[in-house]
Each structure stands twice: as C-alpha cells, then as structure tokens.
Structure 1
Amino acid sequence: MSLRVKGFLFFIAAITLFQAGLGFWQWQRMGEKEAFLAGIAAAAKAPPRPLGEARLWDRVTVTGRFVHERSSYVRTSRPEPKPGVQAGRTLLGSGFGVFVMTPFITRLCGADGKCALINIYVNRGFLPTRADGRLPPFDRPTEPVTLTGFLRPTESAGFFPPHNDPQRQVWFFRSTDEMARLTGLPGAETLEQARVQYSRFIDLQAAPDAVDPPYGVEVEAFLAAIPNNHFQYALTWWGLALTNVVVLTFFLASRRRRGTSAV
C-alpha cells in the first residue's frame, strides 16, 4: 500500500471519528436542552418570583411604570394559523409586525433588604403593523402596573443578515443593551456598561383575558420558540460518518478486486 493511500485512509478515519464525536456531543446537548426546557416548564407552573431572586428563564413578577417614549420596535412576522387549528391570542395578528420593547422602571430588592430603582426592558409582545408599515394605535398605560413574564438574556445578531442598525433604529434582534445605550437609559453611557446593566429583559406573559395587541407570549409559544434541533444534528453527523465508512468500504473492495485481477 502506497504512502499516498495510507495518508488518504488516515484522513478519512480521522474525519469519521471527528464526525461521530460531534454526533455524540449533539446527543448529549439534546439531553441538556430537554432538561433545560423541562426546568422552564416547571418554572412556568410555579408562582412567579420577585426579580431580585430570579435567575434567567424564571417566571418573574414586577411592579412599576413603562417609559413609552423610549420604546424600540423589533421587526418580526407571525405565520398564518394552520387550517383546522384554533389560533391562540399570540397568533391573532399574523403577518408582519414588531415586538414592542419598552423600558420599565421597577424596584429591585436584594437579599440584604436594600432596594433600588432600575430600568429593565419588557417585550410587551407582537404588534401587527399596517400595510404601509406604520404602527397602529395601542395601549400605553401611564399608571403603575404589575406584570408577569419570563426573564431571558438579551439577544445578539448572528453571522448572517439581517443585522440591527441602531443608528437608524432598525431592529431585527432584541439587543436590549444596544437599545439602552441608544435611548440614553441610566447606566448605559457606554456599550460595556449597557451590557452589564441591560443584559436581560422580560417576555411579558399574555393575560388570560387579553384581546388587544400587543399580544404577550403564552407558555406554549414561549417554549416552542426555544430551538431544540440537537437530535437532527446528531443524526446528520452520524449519517456523514456512516457515509464515510460505506465509501471507504467500496474503495477498499475495489482495490482488492483490482489486485486480484492483476494476479
């Protein structure tokens, strides 16, 4: 067997082991993601926690005031309900629209009993836009309100378009740190400060009697929006590894037949 063929076999073996390892890693990630989603589902059934005691992805309750004049609007869309499936409130407004991201002034109390006023963004939910892209009128309460929702981390843009354009106030991701710095919220003088102060936001949970937009999120929709594709990824990597094995088997069999024929 020539050195060239040995190098080829070594390369294929290394790639196959690497792909198989990635498959097992994705299988492990699937278990972790399922446990993560189960934890969120359990938190959704438990009483909401005060913001000062909550961790990311907990359901929380806060009382305070909206700062409507510093809202940001994140472009999004909602699919049409499938035929024969009753649409929930979160899907009543299908088509193009925005997520209404509004700063919320509330009181944050620590374990030592000390409290301070803070700003945290609240995703009030989906607001369908008109055909010309303009925002329709929607409720902007000025009095103190008590909200319940899910505490989640700020979003970051991916490698591929579309990307946020903060200077034009065009948003495709809920990057609350950038929003806070652009709108001049306290504690967001620099992007580094904003990333600490505004590293999380609240997804408002839909009220049972809510009928008007913007629509908050329901638990089922909230869980469905968190991707869990690790099973498909594992099958893909294992399928590639198996393909290598099959191709290598045919390659070696072909070489053996040629060697036998030469004899």
Structure 2
Amino acid sequence: MKQGFIAVILAGFMVTPALAQPTVKLTTLDWCPYTCVTAPDGGFSTVIVKEAFKAAGYTAEVEFLPWQRAVLTAKDSKDVAGYYPEYPGEVEGFTLSPAIGAGPLGLILRKGAPVPAPTVEGLKALKLGTVTGYINSSQVAAAIAAGLKPESVSDDVTNIRKLAAGRIDAAEIDQFVFGHLLKTDPKLADVKTDVVFALPLEEKSLHVAFNTTDYGKKLAAIFAEGLAKVDTKGLQQKYFAAAR
C-alpha cells in the first residue's frame, strides 16, 4: 500500500512541467554585428545580454526598433526594463550596467588620404561626418566643444558613401560595424575598396541602460549578478574572430 502511494506521488512529480523562467523585455536597434535583427543569435551584444540573464534565471526577450524609439520605449516603462547597447556616460532616466563588451571607435578615410593627428586641432581641420544620436569618441567630442561642426546624418552607410564621393574628409564609426557593412550591405558594393578604417581613437565600453523605475532597478541588480558569471571578454574575442 505504501509503495503504491509513493509511486503515485513520484509519477505526479514526473509529469509536472518545469517552472518557466521569468521573462524580461528589452529594446535595441539594428546595429550589426553588435545587435542584428537578421542574425540567428541577435548579434554579439544580444548574446551577452541573454547569457547574463540566463545565468540569473531569467529569459530575455528583445525587440528591435529604430534607435530613438528603442530608447523612448524603454524609458519610464513598467514592461520594458531597458535598452542596449549604450556607451558610458550620463543618460537621463537610466542607469548603466557593468560593461557587456567594447567597441573600437575611430575614423574612416578615403584610401590613400593622409591620416590626421588625433588632436583637437587635427580633427577641427576635417570635414567630419557623424551619425545623429550616437555618442562620439572623447577626441571628437573635444573637437566639437572647441568649434568643430560635424555633418550629421541618419546612418553609417550614408557617411561611407559621402566619404567615398569626396563630400566629407572622414567619418566616425565603430570598426566592427564598418567591417560588417562593407561585407554585407549591397549599397556599398561599388565603394568598399575606396574607404578604410585608418585612425583608431577610443575603445568604448558597451552597456545595458536600465530605466529607473522600481522594475528597472530590480532587473539591473539581477542582470549584474548574472553578468558576473559570463566571460564577456573571452566571448567577444571568439565572436569577432569567427566573424572575420
């Protein structure tokens, strides 16, 4: 009798489904290879974000949106905890996570063009292209503060084409983003041998920006605990080595 009773109990445990992990929602932009809507893994930053939440017992759901909308959707939201990737600095309404990787910012030039000095005066002499809403390297930011007036456009592809056509002298871009665009974007097929990444300026750390609601603060702490268990640097080296 007792054995039969125990067997029934054990059978009940065996058919009980495993408890689902709680889900956290985040927003991001299409900025390959860090965040890539067409990549099965979602891009390198998405891999890190999902691994960190997985280590903390959560499942991350990511929505890809235009950049400004991704930020606004995450701000003051009770359903969306934050957005990524974000460069270090003060972001109103958000707190930044520990680094989830890093991106090398620098200047692209036309092939054969003289490389400018990475100084305020050297950069001020350029007709420089930037992207609206993107944070600049500290060197470019200093040059802007000293009077440089960059030409801002909506995306990196536009800057690359403007540079190839000689309409600007240089453009600021992440090195991995530049390499990915040259390999994959058909709009650059006719100019990809005309432009080069020529002047590294700064390696910027990347972060998740969590909103400052109670929900966002809670998830920020949980994410930090999970991220501490992830070998971010090792994963980044392997990811980009495999992508070359």
Fold-level similarity (TM above 0.5): no
Q: Which has the higher contact order (CA 8 A, sep 6+)?
A: 2
